[in-house]
Chains A and B, each alone.
Chain A
Amino acid sequence: MIKSQNLLTEVESKELLKKAGIPVVEAKLARSKKEAISVSKEMGFPVVLKISSPDVVHKSDSGGVKLGLANATQVGKAYTEIISSVKQAYPEAQIEGVSVQPMAPSGVEVIVGMSKDPQFGPVLMFGLGGILVEVLKDVSFRIVPVTERDAREMIREIKGYPILEGYRGQKPASIPALEKLIVKVSQFVEKNPQIKELDLNPIFAYPDKAVAVDARIILE
């Protein structure tokens, strides 16, 4: 667990991003099992539940994420399991409840992030999600403000670019949607200098759009 006063929860992060015009899979906070079930019904199944705590950075490591919940019974069970396994892993963590969101259909996973360089200030990163970013570090960077041309170049710069174009029958990712998203993120961090770091990880890219499935914002 990384203790941080400045970590916004997923629900808070996504609210800010949505206001800035960055497409996200909306998440709602549920403070009880009952609330989790009623929010799920509102959204429509299947849903995803994730622990909501300002103290838990890596949610899935502590059993804090349950995917593909198909009905109210599964949601109720998942709620109980998430709360108890996070409490066990991090007894000191302050737990608000869980975030509930619709289960997004799978797309090409990419990551867009921001960190601050001591010499050049906010810097955006783009890469393919999952193993490609973690193991191969196949990512590209640009200094904020990132123009449309920069976004275009940083997407094409990564070695895994052919995967975005649709590899071996896989559906392609909308490059224009990704370009637009990157430029929007650049504008967002430019307007909000109090943001220290940001990860949209993963973003699911589809043939016609791109949506941030998880988001994390860390303030100065």
Chain B
Amino acid sequence: MFEEKLKEFEPIFYPKSIAVIGASATSIKAGSLWVWALRSAGFPGLIYPVGASGGQIADLKIFPNLRLVPGEVDYVIVAIPRQSVLELLDDCAAKNVKAVQFFTAGFSEIDAQQGRKLEEQMLEKARQGNLRIIGPNCIGVYCPEHKIPFLLGILGESGSVGFVSQSGGIATKLVTNGIARHINYSKGVSFGNGIDLDASDFLQYLAADPKTKVIGAYLEGTRDGACLFNTMKEVAKVKPLVVWKGGRTEAGAQAAMSHTGSLASSAAIWSAMLKQSGAIEVHSLEELTDTLLIFQQLRHWQGTRAAIIGGLADGGGGNSVAAGDACMENGLKVPPLSFETKQKLSELLGEVGSILRNPVDVSQAQFRGLAALFQAIDLIARDTIIDIVLIQEDIDILLPIYSRKGLEEINEFFIELGSRQNKPIIVVLPSGSAEPERLQIEQKLLAASIPVFCSMEHAAKAICKLNKYSCRQEAK
């Protein structure tokens, strides 16, 4: 599907050469930052800084005009004032450039009349010059595989998650949160005003891109709702599509004479559209990254019967009750463990001080050594009544009891269990008073493909989304 997009977008995500317009040797301009970012990221193609001042950025000569660049230019990044953009598009057409990304802002987003008019003129020039526009008012393309960073040189590892974002700020947060949580992107794009290439185009590309397995999107509006709706329907058929619609509360209901008209708010219609197209709707950056993380790690999973294991060392009671509530309220089932499992657990841990139903409190293991703890968790994970294992790991409680060494062993056991068990092992690491250790453990678990969440609620929501999607796919 959308195979033609692969070739069409090759110069955008895998350009052989990039020219940056608005570079300067002396002053710190956005153009110069872009040149530095590409250079330090190790962009494998040619970089051509262009700027009136001339001179050099590191070992790169600054050309006074795009037309004077000696070689071919696939992709152009523009960071010059808006008065000069039309002239620049003539230069791009003359150089046979394939795509132009405008960091330049100040168009229809601030000035509906003048800005819109200028955008129309840009579009006209792009059509004539046979080139595509990304933006204006955007930070453009992110492609770790081809060492194209976001502005400021932000570059994470290459992976399987693709994203589109209308906003550059959200796009940047997606990448930085991704770096923190091991969500690794295949490609991303921030397309701003989207006067030419917009969400639909990039979603089609990501659907066709063999490197992309799951797609996230942040959208605020669309200029062509029918196209977006049809695109989403097609895209969601082949890859999980997670969408966060921003600006849900704007007053969209115009004067209406029917009941239907007065009840059809913009937010309700977007939700309906997303549901109907088979996309997964989320409502915040955290929910978006949680959902992308679980899809990246598990891809496909059916089953919502969760074992909740808490009180690894102590403090299991109330926390386990709260964890059970959070899971049930967000759509997971927390069934009692089987009789056999309970019996074995009680032999192992003793009756007193433990809760062996589900949520399970295994705190008595602390008096019987780590081997008993591991054995208990293993028993629970093996229970056929359970589809998925959720472990609450309170670092600030574990640390004084088991010390760093014990903590390390515990997490190594989780990793080993995760690789051996054919059901997902998910760890919840609430923040607390031992942040440095918690962060270290989070990184270690994530690197070993164990999904980590900050709370049971977040984990439960993400699991339920994955389950729902997987069931829906199965039903097709």
User: Which residues of A line the B interface, CB within 8 A?
Assistant: 2, 4, 7, 57, 111, 113-115, 117-121, 123-125, 127, 133-134, 137, 139-143, 150, 153-154, 197-199, 201, 216, 218
A7 CB to nearest chain B CB (Å): 7
B51 CB to nearest chain A CB (Å): 40
Interface centre among A113, A119, A121, A197 (most CB of B within 10 A): A119
Q: Contact check, B269 vs A117: say whether CB atoms are below 8 A apart.
A: yes
Total of A-B residue pairs, C-beta within 8 Å: 80
Q: Contact check, B272 vs A119: say whether CB atoms are below 8 A apart.
A: no
Q: Contact check, A119 vs B225: say whether CB atoms are below 8 A apart.
A: yes
Contact of A125 among B229, B257, B263, B271 (CB under 8 A): B263
Q: Contact check, B260 vs A197: say whether CB atoms are below 8 A apart.
A: yes
C-alpha gap A16/B269 in the complex (Å)? 27
A153 CB contacts on chain B under 8 angstroms: 275
Contact with A along B250-265 (1 / 0, CB 8 A): 0010101111110110
C-alpha gap A123/B257 in the complex (Å)? 15
Q: Contact check, A117 vs B276: say whether CB atoms are below 8 A apart.
A: no
Contact of A197 among B257, B272, B273, B276 (CB under 8 A): B257
B263 CB to nearest chain A CB (Å): 6
Q: Contact check, A142 vs B258: say whether CB atoms are below 8 A apart.
A: no
Q: Which residue of B has the minimal Cβ distance to A149?
A: B276
User: Which residues of B line the A interface, CB within 8 A?
Assistant: 221-222, 225-226, 229, 252, 254, 256-261, 263-264, 266, 268-269, 271-273, 275-276
| Known contacts A119-B221, A119-B225, A121-B225: A114-B272 contact under CB 8 Å | no
5 contacts between A and B (CB under 8 A): A113-B258, A142-B272, A143-B276, A197-B257, A216-B258
A57 CB contacts on chain B under 8 angstroms: 257
B252 CB contacts on chain A under 8 angstroms: 118
Q: Contact check, A117 vs B257: say whether CB atoms are below 8 A apart.
A: no
Q: Contact check, B260 vs A114: say whether CB atoms are below 8 A apart.
A: yes
B476 CB to nearest chain A CB (Å): 10
A59 CB to nearest chain B CB (Å): 13
Closest 8 CB pairs of A and B: A113-B260, A119-B225, A141-B272, A115-B261, A120-B225, A197-B258, A125-B260, A115-B260
C-alpha gap A120/B254 in the complex (Å)? 15
Contact of B258 among A115, A120, A137, A140 (CB under 8 A): A115
Q: Which residue of B has the minimal Cβ distance to A134?
A: B259
| Known contacts A119-B221, A120-B229: A140-B260 contact under CB 8 Å | no
Contact of B257 among A134, A143, A218 (CB under 8 A): A218
C-alpha gap A33/B410 in the complex (Å)? 89
Q: Contact check, A150 vs B261: say whether CB atoms are below 8 A apart.
A: no
Q: Contact check, A140 vs B257: say whether CB atoms are below 8 A apart.
A: no
B225 CB contacts on chain A under 8 angstroms: 117, 119-121
Q: Contact check, B259 vs A143: say whether CB atoms are below 8 A apart.
A: no
A141 CB contacts on chain B under 8 angstroms: 264, 268-269, 271-272
Q: Contact check, B260 vs A143: say whether CB atoms are below 8 A apart.
A: no
Q: Contact check, B257 vs A198: say whether CB atoms are below 8 A apart.
A: no
Q: Contact check, B259 vs A142: say whether CB atoms are below 8 A apart.
A: no
| Known contacts A120-B226, A141-B264: A199-B269 contact under CB 8 Å | no
Q: Contact check, B256 vs A197: say whether CB atoms are below 8 A apart.
A: yes
| Known contacts A117-B266, A119-B221, A141-B264: A201-B259 contact under CB 8 Å | yes
